[in-house]
Chains A and B, each alone.
Chain A
Amino acid sequence: MPFVTHPLPWYIAGPLIGLVVPALLLLGNKSFGISSNFRHVCAAVAPCGLDFFEHDWKRSGLWNLVFLAGVFTGATLAAWLAPPPVEIAQHTIDTLRGLGLRETGGLAPAGIFTWAALLTLRGFVCIVVGGFLVGFGTAYAGGCTSGHAIAGLADLQVPSLVAVVGFFAGGLTTTYVILPWLLR
């Protein structure tokens, strides 16, 4: 489709994402944060008497689950109408090739993020272990990129800054230590 250039430039995407924060406040005094939804789903499906899942998820989280359903729908429609090619920096391409990765574009490496690759070491670590760490870490830290790195930093909250330092400590460790080992 010719009406979108890829990627959508950062100076358009960033401000639009930033506006989600005031939009949710104006709508119903809601705080932007995606990962709370994991907690709400656990509370709805398997609270198992645990304190962390005792909250009234319908009252505090239904709006957010609906927001997340929107994220799914919007992303799915956008991918269908104007699929992003994802052409990344040549230096990253060269580095990833050097590490042993064949694919260097698209939404995710096709040799790792498939059903068949789930039973390989790299597929299992990237999908199953990676997903688990995302869910555990965001619950422990009380937020993810949206709640801490965007809303929290914008609100000048110190805990969010500490969390973002952690995000990068972990991300750089995976990038420079775990991935080179996993992909060799």
Chain B
Amino acid sequence: MSLIPYFLIGSAFGAVLMEAEVVSWFRIQEMFRFDAFHMYGIIGSAVVVAGLSLLAIKTLGLRAADGSPLALEPKTLGSGVRYIAGGSIFGLGWALTGACPGPLVALVGGGVPVMAVALVSALAGTWVYGFLRPHLPH
């Protein structure tokens, strides 16, 4: 299996994040202060296009090479605690760094090299979650 197509799609995604300024701390502030439509337009139209594509894939009954239907991994709600608590913790960090995980990586090479520290810190955060996981409500 060639990995090159994944690299190319990732590159296009990274270039779009940069040119649409999604990677900017200021665009995230603008979004959380409801001062511009830009970020909502991007996320909203991405959801619509992705949703219509998923519908088309399902309607056409497309399958992978091994015969399994093409579909996203389903998530189970459970008590929902992990989604609301984990989501809120991520949200706190998103507005502090002004970057979600993709932009964090994009910024390291795209003009804010100190984001490498935030990236290492994020890895530490994920590791600590892995360490505490048996004791956290999910």
Interface residues of A (CB under 8 A from B): 4, 6-32, 34-35, 37-39, 41-42, 45-46, 48, 50-53, 62-64, 66-79, 82-84, 86, 88-89, 91-92, 95-96, 104-109, 113-115, 117-118, 125-146, 148-160, 162-175, 178-179
* CB <8 Å contact, A135 and B19: no
* CB <8 Å contact, A154 and B6: no
Query: Interface SS of chain A: helix, strand, loop or mixed?
Result: helix
* CB <8 Å contact, A175 and B29: yes
The count of residues in chain B whose C-beta lies closer than 8 Å to any C-beta of chain A is 114
> Which chain B residues (1-27) contact chain A, with CB distance < 8 Å?
1, 3, 5-27
Interface residues of B (CB under 8 A from A): 1, 3, 5-30, 32-33, 35-51, 53-54, 56-57, 62, 64, 68, 70-77, 80, 82-102, 104-115, 117-131, 133-134, 136
- CB contacts (< 8 Å) of B115 on chain A: these are 108, 113, 127
In angstroms, Cα B20 to Cα A46, docked, is: 35
Given known A62-B3, A76-B109, contact A171–B94 (CB-CB < 8 A)? yes
- Sample 9 A-B pairs with CB under 8 A, ordered by A number: A7-B21, A18-B45, A52-B129, A70-B7, A75-B18, A128-B121, A142-B82, A154-B48, A172-B32
